[in-house]
A and B are shown apart, each in its own frame.
Chain A
Amino acid sequence: MSLKRLLKEKRLIEKELSGYSESIELLEPVAFENFLKWRAVLKGPVNTPYHKHSFKLLIELPSEYPLVPPAITFEPYSMPHCNVEFSTGKICLNILEHEHWSPVWNLMYVMVALYQLLQEPVVDSPLNIDLANILRAGDTSAYHGLINYYLQEDTATH
């Protein structure tokens, strides 16, 4: 683990975050003395059922970072999405797999990729099979309705 790399990433994020105000609400280490745990909040993209909602992410950096990818999950029971397991918040995204990860990428890059995933769910590799099936069948209103139901439930209980 290179502390220099993390410091540099942090500086970069502080500098550039304002430019991403449409998509990334927050990206920071959980505590200043520990750079291995980060938290982030993504904004729901316009023209998706996620619009006007925001989503918390938990980021853990393994000690071999950046040689191995960061471990990122949504907060459990908060994200109804084709490629996210609802009960655990696990994300299926190939760049987060060790094999496809490149050390050149950084946390900012990953956040942008996740934001894109919110805009364009991949029905072919689903973790939430119900949502993927509905979307694949082209039943947009049911798709939106189900996500809205989940999200309202979420706001009601939290």
Chain B
Amino acid sequence: MANDEDYQYSSSDDDFPEQQYYEPLEHRDITNNILDDYEYLNYDTDSLESFNSDVDIVDGMAVSHVTNPNKKRSIEGAMVNLKYECFTTQDIFNNMLEKVDRLQPMFSIPREDIILLLQKYGWDEDRLLEDWTNKMDGLLIEAGIHINNEQKELPKSQRGISNRDFFTCPICCEDQIKETYSLECGHEYCISCYRHYIEDRLNKGNIITCMSCSLALKNTDIDELMNGPSSEKLMHSSIKSFVQKHNENYRWCPFTDCKCIVHIQDTTEFVEYIRLHYSPYVLCNESHRFCFSCSFEMHSPADCEITSSWIKKAKKESDNLNWVLSHTKECPKCSVNIEKNGGCNHMICSSCKYEFCWICNSDWKPHGSSFYQCTMYNNDELKTQTVIEDVSKTLKRYTFFYRMFNEHEVSAKLDWQLGQTVGNKIKSLQEKMGVSWIEGQFLTESLKILNEGRTALKWSFAVVFYSDSSHNLTKIFVDNQALLANSVEDLSALLQIKSPETIMEKKVEFYNKAGYVENRTYALMECGRELISKGIVKITN
């Protein structure tokens, strides 16, 4: 138990000296080196080989102690540098069309036909080219571009819409049909049945063929039939299934209504990241950060495994717990029902002006001045309980952490709403104080940092839940958690300020607090990764 000293260190939160909070651990130094390597990689991005050799050295533990205490650590530092691109379906479609243009001179068939071929081959150019050189004509029949000459007995007809007087459609069996459609194969159906048929298949992404044979409808045919640009829809669904099929390298942004697709060419490095408990976070063009590996929001300090079992557990238990966690609380003093309308946990009762902490329901005074302790789950309370109560203890323990997780999730949502008003604040700064737009950006920046801090804080409770609470590192982690919680609340309170004058006065404070939250977030993430690497986190259900 040589950690009393560390405990002291971690509690002194004045100006965040880099390495204090878990000095005696060798692994920490290695971690730093790896981080340095990653940062180095950022400048010399195509040196995958050097990356591998670095890791080898790390594996061999033959690393000399190289750390740069002056280097600024940020949340970005807790992440690996990934090379990725962000697309929309339209971008991918345009790429596909470029592919078609490239292939056209080689194939010397119409572009529409090449699109059909590519669709058949799941947009895999290489496989198509290979088969094309082997069996040109056979391929054209297979893809339904050319009619199979062996079936010549059919009356040939013109491709397109024809006007008829008394046609009975074999599908709906209506007579006196005026407009029909058929391909060269001569299978003729009324235009309304054809439209229904196409409409039904547009979102499947496969080639649409004649209802009776394998002759394909080209995009131009579809548009002619549907009287509008419907083939676009087909192309988009074809691309969707392409993305689904290549889910090793492509991911949809998991955020609601976001249409971005992130593409990573080379995922071979992932094994290494996962071994070191880094999660591959990516940022889509709409600035949503998510984990490429589990398609969840940013979940550090938890790793993907903890995240998924936490989510599963939360789903399982939520029925029992939802009634516990209502959105209102009674004021501990006057029992008036209070709804939380801001992100900060520092509550002031509107009726009796009592100041209390939303999380622990006790007086706010000790929170503000001294060490913020409400994130700690007090195990001592339960020590006297008997074995029979063990089950309820586990549930109680889970309830506590789930509540904490939930509180921060709710807070994060409220912070987000706060963000909506930040834009207005900047506007009023511009109008009333003559502040330039760029100068007002510190508010946006602070909000972003606040959000990231909250997210990290939220997920840290999942980590603590699964950690061995008797281990020293867990204690250090919890301390770090408390420090972050404290700094997040401070920043959140700062962002509540409405008057433009006060905001400008406190500009320096904004910078300081935001910077501090950023450092704290990074520290918590790294500490969590260390915790997981050391095997102190055990996933149980």
State the A residues within 8 Å of B (CB): 2, 4-5, 7-8, 66-68, 99, 102-104
Q: How far is the CA of A2 from the CA of B171 in the complex (A)?
A: 9
Indicate if B229 sits at the interface (CB-CB under 8 A): no
Q: How far is the CA of A66 from the CA of B50 in the complex (A)?
A: 62
List residues of chain A with CB within 8 A of the CB of B124.
none
List residues of chain A with CB within 8 A of the CB of B187.
104
Given contacts A67-B200, A99-B206, A104-B211, contact A8 B173 (CB under 8 A): yes
Given contacts A102-B211, A103-B211, A104-B211, contact A5 B173 (CB under 8 A): yes
| A contact face: mostly helix, strand, loop, or mixed | loop
Q: Which B residues, 157 to 188, have Cβ-Cβ distances below 8 Å to chain A? A: 170-174, 187
Indicate if B65 sits at the interface (CB-CB under 8 A): no
Given contacts A67-B196, A99-B206, contact A104 B174 (CB under 8 A): no
Q: From the candidates B171, B174, B212, name the one contacting A66 in the complex (CB within 8 A).
A: B171
B201 nearest in chain A by CB position: A99
State the B residues within 8 Å of A (CB): 170-174, 187, 193, 196-197, 200, 204, 206, 211-212
List residues of chain A with CB within 8 A of the CB of B200.
67-68
B206 nearest in chain A by CB position: A99
Indicate if the CB atoms of A4 and B174 lie closer than 8 Å.
yes
Q: How far is the CA of A66 from the CA of B173 in the complex (A)?
A: 11
Indicate if the CB atoms of A99 and B173 lie closer than 8 Å.
no
List residues of chain A with CB within 8 A of the CB of B212.
102, 104
Q: From the candidates B197, B204, B206, name the one contacting A103 in the complex (CB within 8 A).
A: B197
Q: Quote the shortest CB–CB distance from A12 to chain B (angstroms).
A: 10
Indicate if the CB atoms of B172 and A104 lie closer than 8 Å.
no
Given contacts A67-B196, A99-B206, A103-B197, contact A5 B172 (CB under 8 A): yes
Q: How far is the CA of A7 from the CA of B168 in the complex (A)?
A: 14
Indicate if the CB atoms of A67 and B174 lie closer than 8 Å.
no
Indicate if the CB atoms of A4 and B171 lie closer than 8 Å.
no
Q: How far is the CA of A123 from the CA of B152 in the complex (A)?
A: 35
A6 nearest in chain B by CB position: B173
Q: How far is the CA of A104 from the CA of B209 in the complex (A)?
A: 12
Indicate if the CB atoms of B197 and A67 lie closer than 8 Å.
yes
> Apart from A103-B193, A103-B197, what 12 extra A-B contacts exist at CB < 8 Å?
A2-B172, A2-B173, A5-B171, A67-B193, A67-B196, A102-B211, A102-B212, A103-B171, A103-B211, A104-B170, A104-B187, A104-B211
Q: Give 7 pairs: A residue, B residue, CB < 8 Å, sorted on A.
A: A2-B171, A2-B173, A4-B172, A4-B174, A68-B200, A99-B204, A102-B212
List residues of chain B with CB within 8 A of the CB of A66.
171
Q: Quote the shortest CB–CB distance from A46 to chain B (angstroms).
A: 31
B175 nearest in chain A by CB position: A4
Q: How far is the CA of A107 from the CA of B187 in the complex (A)?
A: 20
Q: Quote the shortest CB–CB distance from B65 to chain A (angstroms).
A: 60
Q: How far is the CA of A8 from the CA of B169 in the complex (A)?
A: 12
Q: How far is the CA of A5 from the CA of B171 in the complex (A)?
A: 7
Q: How far is the CA of A2 from the CA of B196 in the complex (A)?
A: 13
List residues of chain A with CB within 8 A of the CB of B206.
99
Q: Quote the shortest CB–CB distance from A103 to chain B (angstroms).
A: 5
Q: How far is the CA of A37 from the CA of B111 in the complex (A)?
A: 46
List residues of chain A with CB within 8 A of the CB of B193.
67, 103
Q: How far is the CA of A2 from the CA of B170 in the complex (A)?
A: 11
Q: How far is the CA of A102 from the CA of B210 in the complex (A)?
A: 9
Q: How far is the CA of A102 from the CA of B174 in the complex (A)?
A: 18
List residues of chain B with CB within 8 A of the CB of A7.
173
Given contacts A67-B196, A67-B197, A99-B204, contact A2 B174 (CB under 8 A): yes
A66 nearest in chain B by CB position: B171
B209 nearest in chain A by CB position: A102
Q: How far is the CA of A58 from the CA of B460 in the complex (A)?
A: 55
List residues of chain B with CB within 8 A of the CB of A68.
200
Given contacts A99-B204, A104-B211, A104-B212, contact A4 B173 (CB under 8 A): yes
Q: Quote the shortest CB–CB distance from B303 to chain A (angstroms).
A: 37
Q: How far is the CA of A32 from the CA of B498 in the complex (A)?
A: 74
Q: Quote the shortest CB–CB distance from B52 to chain A (angstroms).
A: 42
